[in-house]
Structure 1
Amino acid sequence: MGEWQTLKTPGGTLQAWLAQPETASRGGVVVVQEIFGVTRHIRDVCERFAQAGFTALAPAYLDVIEPGIDLPYDRAGANRGVALVNKLGMESALDTTEEAARMLRGKGLNVGVIGFCWGGTVAFLGNTRLNLPAVSYYGARNLPFLGEPAGAPLMFHFGGRDPHITPEAVAAHRLKQPQAQTFVYEEADHAFNRDPDPPFDPEAAELAWQRTLAFFTEHLQ
């Protein structure tokens, strides 16, 4: 079971959920939240990484604005989350990602990053600007940054029925990041990995998870 750790960043001190394997770690993964905070789902992602042999750290990015954010998955929660991440800004998010990666490297680990929705774009920028192997799940804000050269191996996951990410947007990822592994799950919607909350798609989530574990196994060991 994971536990909260204190993480000092240029923007302020925040909490981060740390989950560690019972045996020697296969690598470290920074887990970047959705706009809703370090929710049960995000903590569960960390626990699943630990069960697979990785050390996972999920910073509470929004703590520097308002500590303890854990928003509901409804329209009101989404509206508030969007406002908070817009106020935070990408540069601050990347500062936090860099400090989280530094904490994991301090444990003697090679480090990658994974993120979901807003966090998917933070993870992508963690690749292009921090040179971290990255897995980006349904990064709805990726498009303006696709021209940035990748700094490490890169993987994208998208739902074929995601109203926020059009087929044209997916095609742009393939065009501008041709070296990346880009997967589309045709029957899945946005946030298809968010177990057990709708629109969770167990089949797509499991396949994406196995691909993600294979990616980090290859690039962090």
Structure 2
Amino acid sequence: MTTDVDFDSLVPALPCSRRNFIVTALGAGFALAVQPVAAQSVIVTDSSGLTAGEIRVPTGDGELPAYRAQPASGSKWPVILVVQEIFGVHEYIRDVCRRLAKLGYQAIAPELYARQGDPRQYANVQELLDKVVGKVPDAQVLSDLDACVAWATAHGGDAARLGITGFCWGGRIAWLYAAHNAQVKAGVAWYGRIVGQASDLTPRQALDIAGELHGPVLGLYGGADQGIPLDTVEQMRRALAASANPASKASTIRVYDGAPHAFHADYRPSYRKEQAEDGWRRLQAWFRQHGV
């Protein structure tokens, strides 16, 4: 499997007709489509001192499975939504939640394909894109993330200190959600697509909402990303700088020269330790700077 491709850019625009939840519980381990895992690179964060595991988030049409990690004691934790890659909420995304919980956050990663299909069932990336990912509407995703914020508010989280981060497919969503929810204090988008063809399911792209952010976003991109051309990253940078909106103008983009797509994904050959660790430090500083 090619490991430095922006899989989100391959997602077709397909009609959505499913309304019931197909996925009702999270699985264990890594998605089939990313096997074999580069085990020598995998970061494992334990759950000592944490409350971590699966939760059910009420939505208008059922309960959405999600992974939650937070400190084992206390309350009023700042909340960070963690948005999956195309592969769903597998072990890497759960570990990111635990890493954030160790920093004092309540981190929630919902399975955002739960109505369309189970990403664990597909060993072929293109089949996963065609049969599941390409059927997920942005409106559904944004609504489900709103439901996660409501859950957090009812379960010890402080939504007045709300952040979002996402990877690949989720990186694009991080941009969109920062323009959708006025509660967002800050976002971090890891190699999320900037431009794309509008469709009924994906009517707006990150570039379209560059001037509408409620919280500033830190964009982290690879200079050798084959799926996200650098000229589109520069378009976004210019649009942010030209905006009169304070949150948009405060946003910034960091490009890592020579880094491929998915350079933070420590379970894949695309992982770049130096750039991933630098990005993680920047994420922490960004959230602190903006009150998350």
TM-score, normalization: structure 2? 0.69
Identify the residue that residue 97 of structure 1 maps to in structure 2. 145
> 1: distance between equivalents of 2:96 and 2:129?
20
Identify the residue that residue 164 of structure 1 maps to in structure 2. 227
Identify the residue that residue 56 of structure 2 maps to in structure 1. 6
Higher helix share: 1
Percent of aligned pairs sharing the same letter: 30
Deviates further, 99-108 or 45-54: 99-108
Stretches of structure 1 that go unaligned for 5 or more consecutive residues are none
> 2: distance between equivalents of 1:79 and 1:98?
29
User: What are the superposed Cα offsets for residues 146-198 of structure 1, whole Å, 9 maximum, x if unpaired?
Assistant: 13211112110001110011110110110112221100111211011101312
> 1: distance between equivalents of 2:144 and 2:92?
20
Where do residues 157-196 of structure 1 align in structure 2 (5 Å cutoff)?
A: 157-178=220-241, 179=249, 180-196=251-267
Stretches of structure 2 that go unaligned for 5 or more consecutive residues are 1-46, 197-204, 242-248
Q: How much does 1:127 deviate?
A: 0.4
Identify the residue that residue 193 of structure 2 maps to in structure 1. 140
Q: How much does 1:26 deviate?
A: 4.8
Distance 1:64 1:155, change over 3 A: same
Given residue 234 of structure 2, which amino acid in structure 1 is its aligned partner? A
Larger Rg: 2
Identify the residue that residue 216 of structure 1 maps to in structure 2. 287
> 2: distance between equivalents of 1:125 and 1:161?
24
Distance 1:154 1:91, change over 3 A: same
Identify the residue that residue 48 of structure 1 maps to in structure 2. 99
Aligned length: 218
Q: CA RMSD in A?
A: 2.0
Moved over 4 A (4+): 23-26
SS in 1 for 2:96: helix
Deviates further, 88-97 or 135-144: 135-144
RCO comparison, higher one (Cα < 8 Å, 6+): 2
